[in-house]
Amino acid sequence: MAGIGRCHNCAAFGEFCEGGTQHAADCRELESWLDSIGGLALDASLAPQPEFQLPPFFPQLLNGLEVPSLLAREPVVAVGIAKALTARGRVSHRAIPAPYATRSLRSQWGVGKDALLLCLGNTLDSYLERLWAVQADENAWGHLQALGFNAATSLNFSIYLDRPRLEHLVNLKRSWLTVRRVQDTSGLVPIPHLQWATILDLQRQLRYAREQGFHTLTLNLQMIKRQGWETVAAGLAVIREEAPDIHLLFAGVASLRRMGWLATLFPTASFTNITAHYLAQRHVRLRRDDIRLIKEPVDGHPDLILAENVRLYRDFIAETVGRASSPQPQANLGRLYVAQQEVAAAMQTRFGYNFDEAVTAAERLAIDEAILAACQHWLQTGSLDQGFRGSFPDWPCAACVPHPTLGYLLDGGRLPLDAFLHLAGLARQVDEEIQTFAGLAGY
């Protein structure tokens, strides 16, 4: 009751907030925002969203391609807003790098003339705050349309769960206000961002979106800080129950495990990420064994590698959705899965691991397929390659971690299994750095 007593004069208390003790004073300090955004209610009148369709997966580009014919038949291509506009709302040199060239990002980047070019409003908070501040002076959305964009998501102002409740509500309202500004100042098709701190926030937005005639919404699941997934997961069940006809675009999902789970929950959903292009630029091709992504350094033109990476994601979603709609036994469990099972079994019988510990350790080794294979070979033959380091030193971002040889670790007193697990831990660190840098590259 003491917390609610401190909250009852707050503009968020009641309809939007149940009160609390931690941030009551901070909420009241934010009340000056309310006049500029017209209060916290979602009450702006919006035009219905035009009909359009998105494919199951489409690439998000970091820059233009040198072989644009590869994207000539892509129905949709995404580009992050920070690649197109400066934080002051003006056209960026990233978008139009060549002097005296046509002021069309579409033509300079080699995007097909019939493709839907989508601008994603996911970027750093500092950029978004500056763009919000100058929007009255710069027609940012008009600039995007002039660059050749057809559609744009609303700005994705961050909602941090440990911040004051009023900040959540202000940022949620500002994101929807950019939808209205897109409609008022351009011919772009707006796709609102769906985000929430509480289920109440989610339910309000779902009702509002359907009342205003919106059929497609986007969720940014990049989550560089890897926080808030529990809140997102809880909300997804609400979306399925209360808005089963809403089409979702998930941005930033790179893991096949998470992509497969989301595609099973929402078979009509679409996905885009920067990872396919980011790795292709670094001559890394993605391949898979079951739901494990394997990063393979290869020779070849980055645009050709991009096409293969895009195809992998697209085929995986098609397979996942087909399996979800027509359940059937999976005949081929995959070589990687079989190796994990064999290693996990050996850990239980030879090293005293319990079942859960053995499965977790085997999955950890499988982060780098080469490490899992070398460990499996050692378990089968007792043979160790003293110079073995795994394949992860050849991945992008590998310079951020040490990559000792197996012999170096053994000479330092580690037992062979511990040495393999140590290498796997380093591979996991590199994999996480790749996801972080891929996300940052999209800004």
Global confidence as pTM: 0.80
C-beta of residue 149 within 8 angstroms of C-beta of residue 118: yes
The pLDDT assigned to 332 comes to 37
**Other beta carbons less than 10 A from residue 368's beta carbon:** 26
Instruction: Answer whether residue 43 is part of any domain.
Output: no
pLDDT band per the 50, 70, 90 thresholds, residue 2: very low
pLDDT at 30 over 60: yes
Among the listed residues 428, 307, 315, 298, the one whose alpha carbon sits nearest the alpha carbon of residue 366: 428
Contacts of 26 (CB under 8 A, 6+ apart): 164, 166, 167
pLDDT at 328: 44
User: At 386, is the secondary structure helix, strand, or coil?
Assistant: coil
Helix (H) or strand (E) holding 286: strand 284-289
Same domain, 288 and 355: no
Q: Does one domain contain both 310 and 349?
A: no
Does 26 reside within a domain?
Answer: no
Asked if residue 431 belongs to a domain, the reply is: yes
What pLDDT shows up at residue 25?
65
Whole-angstrom Cα distance, residue 367 to residue 300? 24
Lowest mean pLDDT among 146-150, 229-233, 386-390: 229-233
Distances (CA, A) of 293 to 229, 269, 276, 309: 21, 21, 12, 11
Cα(234)–Cα(238) distance, integer angstroms? 7
pLDDT the model gives residue 197: 87
Phi, psi of 202 (to 5 degrees): -65, -45
Closest residue by Cα to residue 174 from 188, 193, 189, 160: 193
Q: Which residues pair with 249 in a beta bridge?
A: 218, 270
Residue 276 near residue 287 (C-beta atoms within 8 A): no
- We report the CATH number of the domain holding residue 189 as 3.20.20.105
- Residue 222, amino acid: Q
| 204, pLDDT greater than 90 | yes
Mean pLDDT, rounded, of the chain: 86
Edge-first strand listing for the sheet containing 116-120: 189-191, 151-153, 116-120, 76-80, 57-61, 270-273, 247-251, 216-220
Q: Would you say 175 and 193 are in contact if contact means Cβ atoms under 8 Å apart? A: yes
Same domain, 321 and 367: no
Looking at the fold, whether 281 and 367 belong to one and the same domain comes out as: no
Number of domains in the chain: 2
> What pLDDT was estimated at residue 228?
64
pLDDT at 284 over 50: yes
Last residue of a domain, one of 277, 302, 328: 328
Lowest-pLDDT range of 105-109, 127-131, 351-355, 383-387 = 105-109
Residue 25 domain flag: no
User: Quick one: pLDDT band at residue 324, thresholds 50, 70, 90?
Assistant: low
Task: Write down which residue in 312, 328, 344 finishes a domain.
Answer: 328
Strand boundaries in 192-283, DSSP class E: 216-220, 247-251, 270-273
Mean pLDDT, range 192-203, rounded to an integer: 92
What is the reported pLDDT for 35?
A: 78
Is 40 within the bounds of a domain? no
Residues 365 and 420 both lie in one domain: yes
Q: Of 70-74, 323-327, 386-390, which range is least confident?
A: 323-327
pLDDT score, position 327: 46
State yes or no: pLDDT of 22 exceeds 70.
no
Q: What is the pLDDT at residue 381?
A: 93
Query: Can you tell me the mean pLDDT for 297-303?
Result: 89
Which contacts qualify for 285-289: CB closer than 8 Å, 24 or more apart? 285/309, 286/312, 286/313, 287/312, 288/256, 288/312, 288/316, 289/334, 289/335, 289/336, 289/337, 289/369
Query: Is residue 4 situated within a structural domain?
Result: no
Contact 158, 167 (CB under 8 A): no
Say whether both 174 and 153 belong to one domain.
yes
Of the ranges 14-23, 182-191, 291-300, 357-366, which one carries the lowest mean pLDDT score?
A: 14-23
367 and 222, same domain (yes or no): no
226 falls in which pLDDT band (50, 70, 90)? very low
- For residue 99, give Cα distances in angstroms to 17, 108, 273: 52, 11, 29
**CA dist 371 → 286, 388, 409 (Å):** 17, 9, 14
The tokens 């409003």 sit on which residue?
A: 121
Give 236-279 pLDDT, tens digit per residue. 989 999 999 999 999 999 989 889 989 999 999 999 999 999 99
Instruction: Choose the most confident range, by mean pLDDT, from 3-7, 123-127, 203-207, 366-370.
Output: 203-207
pLDDT tens-digit readout, 57-80: 999 999 888 766 666 678 999 999
Give the end of a domain, one of 328, 352, 379. Answer: 328
Tell me the one-letter amino acid at 163.
Answer: R
Give residue 23's pLDDT: 63
- What range defines the domain where residue 113 resides? 52-328
pLDDT band at 223 (very low <50, low <70, confident <90, very high): low
The span from the CA of 253 to the CA of 56, in Å, is: 13
Cβ(259)–Cβ(253) below 8 Å:
yes
β-pairing, 284-289 vs 292-297, is antiparallel
In a domain, 190, yes or no: yes
- Residue 331 has a pLDDT of 37
What is the average per-residue pLDDT within 28-51? 85
Is the pLDDT reported for residue 21 higher than 60?
Answer: no
Could you tell me which residue, 441 or 76, shows the higher pLDDT? 76
**Average confidence (pLDDT) over 199-225:** 89
Percent of the chain with pLDDT over 90: 55
Residue 369 lies in a domain: yes
